[in-house]
Each structure stands twice: as C-alpha cells, then as structure tokens.
Amino acid sequence: MAKKMKIRAFSGDNGIAIVKALIFHPMETGLRKDKDTGKTIPAHHITEVQVEHNGTKIITCLWGPTVSKNPFLSFDLKGAKPGDSVKVSWVDNLGKTESGEAKIS
C-alpha cells in the first residue's frame, strides 16, 4: 500500500525539535500538457497544510502550484519534548484530504 506521507520529528537542544515531513502529491500546476494526448493536465495541488503539536495548531502553510511535486516541509519548533505528537493534515484544490502523525523522538 502506498504511503501518503513520511514524518520525522526529533528533539534537539533547549527543547527545540526539528520536524521534517515528506508528503506524496503530484502538485500539478495546471500548465503542463500531456505528451500523448496534447491535453492540458488540470491543476491538482495542495492548497493548505496544517501542523499540530499535541493538538495545538502551530503552523498553517498556504501552498500554490509552485511548490514541488511530493512537497517537503521542515521547520523547528519550540517547547517540544520527546513523546509529543506532531500531526500534519493537508487539503488540496480538489477537496481531497490526508493526514499523518508522528511522535517526537
């Protein structure tokens, strides 16, 4: 079964954790043409990503079609301890949603 996203979160010094998420998504701009049919491939890209730390929203990402295919997201987070949960949820322009969760190690 294909994995929808990979999330790694690890704690460092001073209670600051680093979160890395790799989300599998085509991120079509809507400007590309299919080589065989010549038809424009419709836009299909993530519009919003929400990240929660222990249930509290910490970052909202607004993405456009410029973000690369299989988008990568990384940031650092204050006040994070090993065992805390990090949840990443996204929605795309077609209304599809997906989410994943990881514990800070």
Residue 91 as a binder of other proteins (CB under 8 A): the answer is yes
* Smallest gap from residue 60 Cβ to other proteins (A): 4
Site for other proteins, residues 17 to 36, rule: CB under 8 A: 29, 31
User: If we measure between CA atoms, which residue out of 29, 49, 53, 54 comes closest to residue 40?
Assistant: 29
N-to-C CA span, the chain: 25
84 binds other proteins (CB under 8 A): no
Which residue, 32, 59, 61, 60, is CA-closest to 44? Answer: 32
Residue 17 C-beta: closest distance to other proteins, Å: 9
Min separation Cβ 58 and other proteins, Å: 5
Stretch touching other proteins by CB under 8 A, among 3-11, 34-42, 76-84: 76-84
Query: What residues pair up with 44 in beta bridges, in sequence order?
Result: 28
- Identify whether the C-beta of residue 24 lies closer than 8 Å to the C-beta of residue 2: yes
